[in-house]
Amino acid sequence: MKKALIVWGGWAGHEPQQCAELFAPMLQEAGFTVEVVDTLDVYTDRAKMQALSLIVPIWSMGIITPEQENGLLNAVKEGVGIAGWHGGMADSFRNNPAYQWMVGGQWVAHPDNIIEYTVTIINHADPITVGLADFKVKSEQYYLHVDPSNEVLATTTFHPVSAPWVDGCVMPVVWKRKWGQGRVFYSSLGHVASDFNVPEVLEIQKRGMLWASH
């Protein structure tokens, strides 16, 4: 049976515990044995990490030690999948560029805060987005610094009142990539647990986790 590890913590505003409680049963229904922890020390347990199929990080604005970071990055590099969303993965450790390289991006702003915006599917053949049409969400629209090697599956276009100099900027929302032998999936959607009430947001995340786990 596949093993999944959900690691939650950091800034409470992203509702990490609520999101962990949302996705743990979904992964169990998909055939995973799921362990949920609230400590980054788990990343230093090499034997546990090597036995995983999937890591789901839900940790915003935290501090990670070199030992914890190396344990996580090496596990993914050796073939463990990782899949996350919003600030729980792309705004986790602001002082750790190696972690950000693995993720493929880092949050830098959400102009105008909570707004309604459109997510545009740009790859309709990929298993993560197949059958999905463009959709609207009302949440934070993430402006990210992104890796050009990402395989982008969905984007959004910015028209911010508070930052008119980026009007018309097309920004990746959903991507996948590799880190060594591991698969990396990221979606900038999911500011709080209720954002997953949008069916497309939830479906993309579920499919992304399954893809990352091989």
pLDDT in tens, 36-83: 999 999 999 999 999 999 999 999 999 999 999 999 999 999 999 999
pLDDT, residue 88, reads: 98
85-91 average pLDDT score: 98
pLDDT, residue 101, reads: 98
pLDDT in tens, 101-153: 999 999 999 999 999 999 999 999 999 999 999 999 999 999 999 999 999 99
Judged against a pLDDT cut of 90, whether residue 181 lies above it is answered with yes
Distance CA 105, CA 172 (A): 10
pLDDT, residue 46, reads: 98
Question: Using 50, 70 and 90 to split pLDDT, how confident is the model at 182?
Answer: very high
Collapsed DSSP state (helix, strand, coil) of residue 36 = strand
CA geometry: angle 184, 5, 101, nearest 5 deg? 30
Distance CA 184, CA 165 (A): 31
**Fold observed for domain 2-212:** Rossmann fold (3.40.50)
- Cβ-contact 157, 168 below 8 angstroms: yes
pLDDT, residue 1, reads: 87
Question: Using 50, 70 and 90 to split pLDDT, how confident is the model at 85?
Answer: very high
Residue 125: partners with Cβ closer than 8 Å, 6 or more residues away? none
pLDDT in tens, 202-211: 999 999 999 9
